[in-house]
Amino acid sequence: MFDKELFDRNFSFEFKFNVARNIRTAVQAYDEFMAKNRSFLKDAQDLHGRILAYAVGRQFLLASAESAPSYLVSQEEVNAFRAKAVFLHTDDYVTNVCRTAKAGLLPCRAGYKLRLAEGNREYDAQMEFFQDPISRQLLPAMPKKYAIIGYRYEDGIIRHLTLLVPDWRFENVIYSESLIGTIQDTYRYIPTEIVEEDVAKLREDIRKIID
């Protein structure tokens, strides 16, 4: 049975607000970068999705100090091709940020997602081991639960921003919650000047990887 109380403890309003703020910043920086480089990128459609994914992931990393009270951010290689994914860590969950085709649908399957989803078994999750930073000993611990921040940005519109919890087989969604309304909260509570500063910093980072 899905533990909604545990979910709510890990995904507070502050968590959701920071996620929404980062997505808003990332897509605005992406739009501004693409507008300034339209002639250069018009024949490179395959790069558009990669640039957007980079913008989203990079923004979470840039804002990691501010969001630390809600979650910790890491970027890790997830396959043999050295592709990287961004993860948000709370006490009981590890959350993956990635694009999804539709709200309420899981993203494409991948080995690391299947492994993380094992933590969502209800009763018989296998114990994992972590290294104690002081003693350096390997100690047993229950694996964290797994969630996904799924987003889709198309034609200047955030089509969806959804917090998803998959079942342990990574076949179905056992809980989902839209964060679109939280994006609107960022317009009410964050001064435009601060957003513009964040956008400018991220836009410069995007320019550096393209150059």
> Hey, what are 182's tokens?
């939280």
Look at 129 and 9; give whichever has higher pLDDT: 9
Residue 171 DSSP one-character state: S
Domain residues of the chain, as ranges?
A: 4-210
Instruction: Give 132's pLDDT tier (boundaries 50, 70, 90).
Output: very low
> Hey, what are 14's tokens?
């502050």
Confidence at residue 1, expressed as pLDDT on a 0 to 100 scale: 81
pLDDT score of 39 more than 90: no
92 and 9 in contact (C-beta within 8 Å)? yes
Q: Could you tell me whether strands 84-89 and 173-178 are parallel, antiparallel, or unpaired per DSSP bridges?
A: unpaired
pLDDT digits (tens, 9 = 90+) for 137-161: 554 567 899 999 999 999 999 999 9
Sheet with 157-166, side-by-side order of all strands: 72-77, 84-89, 93-99, 145-154, 157-166, 173-178
- Rounded mean pLDDT of 60-87? 94
pLDDT digits (tens, 9 = 90+) for 76-88: 999 888 889 999 9
- Rounded mean pLDDT of 77-106? 93
Helix (H, G, I), strand (E, B) or coil at 81: coil
- Residue in 186, 143, 183 with CA at minimum distance from that of residue 163: 183
The conformational region for residue 210 under phi > 0 = left, psi -120 to 50 = alpha, else beta, is alpha
Instruction: Return the axis-axis angle of helices 45-62 and 192-210, rounded to nearest 10°.
Output: 130
Confidence at residue 129, expressed as pLDDT on a 0 to 100 scale: 53
pLDDT score of 131 more than 50: no
Instruction: Give 68's pLDDT tier (boundaries 50, 70, 90).
Output: very high
63 and 18 in contact (C-beta within 8 Å)? yes
The conformational region for residue 100 under phi > 0 = left, psi -120 to 50 = alpha, else beta, is beta
59 and 25 in contact (C-beta within 8 Å)? yes
- To the nearest 5 percent, what fractions of the chain are helix, strand and coil? 45, 25, 30
Instruction: Give 98's pLDDT tier (boundaries 50, 70, 90).
Output: very high
The tally of CA atoms less than 13 A away on the side-chain side of residue 110 is 16
